Amino acid sequence: MSKHKLSEEKWFEQPTYYDEIRFKGYTRRDFMKFASMMAAFIGLESSAIGQVAKAMETKPRLPVIWLHFQECTCCSESFIRSSHPIVADILLDKISLDYSETLMAASGTQAEAALKNTLEKYKGQYILCIEGSVPTGADGVYCMIGGKTSMQILEEVSENAAAVIAWGSCASNGCVQSAKPNPTSATPIHKLVKGKPVIKVPGCPPIGEVMAGVIVHYLTFGTIPELDRLGRPKAFYSKRVHDTCYRRPFYDAGLFVESFDDENAKKGYCLYKVGCKGPTTYNACGVMKWNAGTSYPIQSGHPCIGCSEENYWDNGRLYQRASSFAGFGIESDADTLGKYALGATGVALAGHAILTNINKRKDINTLTAEGEAGDVDVIE
């Protein structure tokens, strides 16, 4: 098989994905497998595989700027581990060439120049991917890169972006750094970028294939994927982890793990009672799984912590279903509080009943007397 030929001129301009894929040594067959996989992931019919392949063959690769703010880089880690090597090799290697703090080779002045270059050259065309939230507290000094605050960078770079992708829970909803009391005022991207489509891809991290799927969708159709009301791609976030869970039959049967490592846990029962947030979490973990479809938290015996849900860090406790009740101590939940309230109500009502018998004695006696008098009336 002859190596894919690429004219030098074309290479320096804007090669297509196909050009790069072939240049890297993948066969046409590999490429078609990748296109089919991606089409399946983004929920297309098999007839659309051709569309995906064609888009990758003909359209120049998307210029992408990938910014990192308040985050842990787990989104990038997840992305480069997505199951098909082409994802990492082409999508990430190439898209991130433009600018990505973590993965680009350049640094310092060169890196800044690369960013500036992309901003100018692909004005209005590039996709802006953001990992991490933006601290707005103290004028944004909590996160600074190259002498600029992340707020400034976001403003500059988002201005001429075609679309914005918020990778992970940090960028989508603030994640742990925005947990109460949110000392740095960590703010998710959609609250800062106005007048542009923002695709939220929540998860801590999101699944690599999901991330690739979002990009491929944009590449294929030139539009952002269909989003739900929260701004998440419907193809991946419309089902609860619970609805696709292989332990669901145990849930419906009422067979639960009571504590970790008990007999029920060994039998693989449902993890609902040890705090599984699957029933309240929208993600594709149960279907796509992680690490090339190897497993996902529930499969390895750990309850879902709901990492792709907004406020999961403040809204619930990781290993209990009930959340703590703010202001009443860590251990108090709605039921504890409710029992106390019920007890207090009982005491108050008993007190009221006693008082009634004392204070209303006269009224009650009158009623009784009237009743007796009426009796007499009837008898007479």
List interacting residues with another protein (CB under 8 A).
173, 228-230, 238-240, 243, 249-256, 258, 272-273, 277, 279-282, 306, 309-312, 315-316, 321-323, 334-335, 337-338, 341-342, 345-346, 349, 352-353, 355-356, 359-360, 363-364, 367, 369-371, 373-374, 376-377
Measured from the CB atom, the residue of 24 and 239 that comes closer to another protein is 239
Measured from the CB atom, the residue of 23 and 325 that comes closer to another protein is 325
In the three-class reduction of DSSP (H, G, I as helix; E, B as strand; rest coil), residue 240 is classed as strand
Minimum CB separation of residue 370 from another protein in Å reads: 5
Minimum CB separation of residue 186 from another protein in Å reads: 15
Say if residues 312 and 174 touch (Cβ distance below 8 Å): no
Minimum CB separation of residue 69 from another protein in Å reads: 21
Q: How far apart are CA 156 and CA 141, in angstroms?
A: 17
Measured from the CB atom, the residue of 59 and 239 that comes closer to another protein is 239
What token pair was written down for 356? Answer: 């009634």
Measured from the CB atom, the residue of 106 and 337 that comes closer to another protein is 337
Measured from the CB atom, the residue of 138 and 349 that comes closer to another protein is 349
Minimum CB separation of residue 304 from another protein in Å reads: 11
| Eight-class DSSP state of 244 | G
Q: How far apart are CA 187 and CA 164, in angstroms?
A: 15
Minimum CB separation of residue 126 from another protein in Å reads: 30
**CA distance to 153, 170, 185, 188, per residue, from 136 (Å):** 12, 14, 5, 10
Minimum CB separation of residue 130 from another protein in Å reads: 20
**CA distance to 12, 23, 261, 276, per residue, from 103 (Å):** 21, 20, 40, 35
What token pair was written down for 60? Answer: 């120049």
Say if residues 84 and 40 touch (Cβ distance below 8 Å): no
What is the CA 247 to chain-centroid distance, rounded? 22
Measured from the CB atom, the residue of 21 and 192 that comes closer to another protein is 192
Say if residues 79 and 208 touch (Cβ distance below 8 Å): yes
Measured from the CB atom, the residue of 121 and 339 that comes closer to another protein is 339
Measured from the CB atom, the residue of 225 and 278 that comes closer to another protein is 278
Minimum CB separation of residue 52 from another protein in Å reads: 29
**3-class secondary structure per residue, 170-194:** HHHHCCHHHCCCCCCCEECHHHCCC
* C-alpha torsion angle, residues 325, 175, 43, 61 (rounded to 10): 170
Minimum CB separation of residue 251 from another protein in Å reads: 6
**CA distance to 190, 316, 327, 364, per residue, from 239 (Å):** 22, 20, 33, 62
Please name every residue paired with 131 in a beta bridge, in sequence order, or none if there are none. 68, 167
